[in-house]
Amino acid sequence: MPRAGRPASTTRRTPEVTDDSRCSPWVRGGTGKVGLVGLLWYWPETWQQRRLGAARIYTGGAAPAGYSTKILWAFLGRSAKGRGGAHLVVRGRRLDQPGSFRQVFAAISYAGQQGAPSYASIINVPSAGCWRLQLSTGALRASVVFQAVRAAERPTLCSAGEVDTLVERFTGAFNAGDVGQLDGIFAQEPEFEWYSTDAPGERFTPLANDRPSLMPYFRDRHALSEQLTLRSFRFNGNTTGTRTYGNFEYGLTRSAEDLEPTPYYGKGAAICYRNRSDVIFVWSMGSA
């Protein structure tokens, strides 16, 4: 998948997301001759703060906050001037399993356009997965690849009881080596932020932020008979703003074949929902 945070090469066929505080994130597709750029107006602040590298889009044409998945497409290449049509046709084809869609958008004009064929769109990807968008207008052709993700239910305020229960579910599943349950207890990307601990089995940045490695890590620690025995729990209230989550701290005893029973203390954060399971997205612990 395309990466973020560096200028896009004019010869790359896959898009890149540029996360610059001075402008909106954008993708580039096609070759330098047509110079297709898409401004991603829907890109949420949480994705910008985490500097997500993959070009992604919400399914269903809407982001969790309720705004539309708007993209302004512009063909900026020198050879593209005057070669665009009155309409842009977007054909989506799913790459990881069968799936397709088609949309048509009218051309627009704006100050500073300088003859670049431009089109305002709300892209409605029907399902989560990896999608290639083929864009065509007049004599111009280009493509971009997105990872489509479901627009999750908006979080609610957490209560002390439900976060306490969530933490107990985690330690119970961890001690049992139930990776399937653990996978549901921890948030998926892009909500997941980190799981960190010191040695043995240390997880520090950037590994701590890597969600795909978390379940294999739990398997490895279970193979060494690691156990987490919860000793104390304290709920520290909710944080609200760009995202809503509950804060907590805890004390536990950590033990394994490579670790004598040792007191650990830590903090974490949980996302709570009304109609789906609560999840932990931050867990950080260290020996006392």
Give 14 or 154, the one with higher predicted confidence: 154
Given pLDDT bands bounded at 50, 70 and 90, which one contains residue 47? Answer: confident
57 inside domain: yes
18 inside domain: no
DSSP 82: T
Does residue 142 share a domain with residue 177? no
* Amino acid found at 145: V
Does residue 283 share a domain with residue 196? yes
Per-residue pLDDT, 12: 34
For the chain, give the mean pLDDT.
Answer: 88
Question: Among 87, 118, 149, which residue terminates a domain?
Answer: 149
Does residue 127 share a domain with residue 87? yes
In this predicted structure, the answer to whether residue 91 has a pLDDT above a threshold of 90 is: yes
Q: Number of folded domains in the chain? A: 2
255 inside domain: yes
Does residue 57 share a domain with residue 37? yes
For residue 215, give its domain range. Answer: 160-287
Does residue 220 share a domain with residue 133? no
Could you tell me the pTM of the whole model? 0.54
For the segment 197-210, the average pLDDT, to the nearest whole number, is: 95
4 inside domain: no
Question: Among 149, 172, 207, which residue terminates a domain?
Answer: 149
In this predicted structure, the answer to whether residue 226 has a pLDDT above a threshold of 50 is: yes
In this predicted structure, the answer to whether residue 158 has a pLDDT above a threshold of 70 is: yes
Does residue 109 share a domain with residue 176? no
Does residue 95 share a domain with residue 185? no
Length of the chain: 288
Question: Among 149, 170, 197, which residue terminates a domain?
Answer: 149
Does residue 244 share a domain with residue 215? yes
Does residue 179 share a domain with residue 134? no
CATH number at residue 115: 2.60.40.10
Per-residue pLDDT, 167: 98
Cα 226 to Cα 253: distance, rounded to the nearest angstrom: 10
pLDDT digit string, tens, across residues 228-280: 999 999 999 999 987 899 999 999 999 999 999 999 999 999 999 887 889 99
Given pLDDT bands bounded at 50, 70 and 90, which one contains residue 10? Answer: very low
In this predicted structure, the answer to whether residue 214 has a pLDDT above a threshold of 80 is: yes
Per-residue pLDDT, 50: 77
75 inside domain: yes
Q: Cβ of 111: how many Cβ atoms within 10 Å?
A: 5
Q: Tell me the CA end-to-end span of the chain in Å, nearest whole number.
A: 41
Percent of the chain whose predicted confidence (pLDDT) is above 90? 70
155 inside domain: no
Does residue 142 share a domain with residue 242? no
CATH number at residue 253: 3.10.450.50
Retrieve residue 275's tokens: 């109609």
Q: Is 132 exposed, middle or buried (0-12, 13-18, 19+ CB in 10 A)?
A: middle
Shortest CA distance to 148 belongs to which of 134, 165, 131? 131
Does residue 280 share a domain with residue 201? yes
The backbone torsions φ and ψ at residue 164, rounded to the nearest 5 degrees and listed phi first, read -60, -45
9 inside domain: no
In this predicted structure, the answer to whether residue 114 has a pLDDT above a threshold of 70 is: yes
Does residue 190 share a domain with residue 228? yes
